[in-house]
A and B are shown apart, each in its own frame.
Chain A
């Protein structure tokens, strides 16, 4: 092959590869563009002030109210329940795996956690509605069939592997000299873990918590199946609640016609969802880079 042709081909290949790489940036731009442009017609009818502060969400019925707070509250409630399960358990498992477990035990627990992480969310939804809720109803008889509690608990199990594995990475990355120094000063193993290791790995652990919270906020099928479809501000987790994601699913299930308020409302809710998760993800990334820089 002549040298000139060879060079042109090399150049062309590099441009092609770069084009593919830029596609991922285009995806982000696409997401932001779509969410904003498609929710503009919604905000033409729903004042932004009412959207952000209103406490009634009935954009699809005859008497329309556009307060998104019930959906946000539902989302936060269920995320909170999930975090109550996943944070302590995940951190405990991370400490155990990083500081106590033998290699053999690690090599059984980690794949099991990976299986837990790989189960499709629709399966967790089934489990929450048809196994966990009936079980809980034996203890709490007044529990609604659709309720925030069992959706939250099962979601906690779903995000547990993420907390465990990312926190373990953070603990594992803490330099050996910290452990040595702590022992040299006479600390017991638990003192070493809680007074030296965890503070040292704190930003990494916090990053895993925040990432897990973002994951819980964006999770859809568990809540769509098990938490119900009532957009009301409820304080009782035994009651049904609707999350932002569940609302989007409910509207999408019916064949929404283009240009209707229904159609644009899911983009407005999607925009709120996207902004919340983007904020949390960015915070988590920033924290993670911080600990990676500190110990490298």
Chain B
């Protein structure tokens, strides 16, 4: 018995895993007051979220129709539509995934499965942590100078996608590393013991187990990418484009750009039924948010399914 460590007191409800219950009498009044204030802060944040969603839906609901989705931008608010922006965002997302997914996963594999601790790995790690904090518009400046100007890709879909890929690369790397780290070491040991090479182990054993986590991280990174505005403004996306991009070297627009363009229009410009560009912007926001919600839903579904399987 004496070898047993003393177990910390655990809340008998089993609800909280790390909180011993305090003496119930002293300071109880203040404690309740504090809890009320804290709950107030939580409620205020939630109310802002609800207020934001409600105001956007109220402003945009009468513009949410099929015509809005299938029309090109226009100088008249009641005729303006989201079509090129919607497809622009879609293409941008696919291209971004094409660049950031392989590079991000490869980097994660290198750091988790190959690199020795210290030296280069440490440098890369620090670097990724710092890159994650670089403002997105600075990536836009990088894209402008390198992709648009130096590589002469012009203000194209390709320049935009490459810029966004660099921007979300740290997110893909960090998420993939976590997914790889969650794979138990005995999987690798068993595979290596059976004579598999390191790459065979990674490719055939480790990656399949880590795949849901990697996919979840990538989807979240892409949802960040399609919500970004500033970096693709610098790279040259414009709000008034009346065609769909023909190829990856074509000029483009995207949903956040279109929304920004509409928000900044003069509010006096109205069409029939007092339709304003601001209402167009709100409708665009509803569609953008719906798309992000769907992507996040898929990511969460993947994660839950994987967790269930592990159990």
Contact = CB atoms under 8 A, between A and B. Distances in A.
Interface in A100-115: 100, 102-103, 109, 112-113, 115
Contacts of B38: 92-93, 95-96, 100
B42 interface: yes
A21 B124 contact: yes
Chain B's interface size range is 35 or more
B34 interface: yes
13 contacts: A18-B115, A18-B120, A20-B110, A127-B52, A127-B55, A130-B263, A188-B26, A221-B260, A248-B230, A273-B138, A278-B130, A278-B133, A281-B134
Nearest to B199: A13
A253 interface: yes
A113 B129 CA distance: 22
A27 B233 contact: no
Given A112-B49, A192-B22, A267 B135 contact: no
Interface in B123-151: 123-124, 126-131, 133-142, 144-146, 149
Contacts of B39: 96
A136 interface: no
B216 interface: no
B129 A20 contact: no
Nearest to B267: A130
A131 interface: yes
Given A31-B138, A225-B260, A180 B20 contact: yes
Given A21-B110, A183-B22, A10 B197 contact: yes
A176 B45 CA distance: 29
Interface residues of A, number: 93
Interface string B37-73: 1110110111011011001100100000000000000
Given A18-B110, A123-B289, A274 B263 contact: no
B109 to A, nearest CB: 6
Interface in A116-133: 116, 118-127, 129-131
Nearest to B6: A180
B308 to A, nearest CB: 16
Contact of B49 (A96, A116, A122): A116
A274 B135 contact: yes
A28 B27 contact: no
Interface stretch (B76-84, B180-188, B206-214, B278-286): B278-286
A185 B138 CA distance: 51
A112 B296 contact: no
Nearest to A278: B130
A24 B128 contact: yes
A31 B27 CA distance: 54
Contacts of B228: 120
A225 to B, nearest CB: 6
A131 B54 CA distance: 10
A91 to B, nearest CB: 9
B190 to A, nearest CB: 19
A44 interface: no
Contacts of A220: 135-137, 229-230
A221 B263 CA distance: 11
Contacts of A88: 41
Contacts of B133: 211, 214-215, 277-278, 280-281, 284
Given A28-B131, A92-B38, A118-B292, A6 B107 contact: no
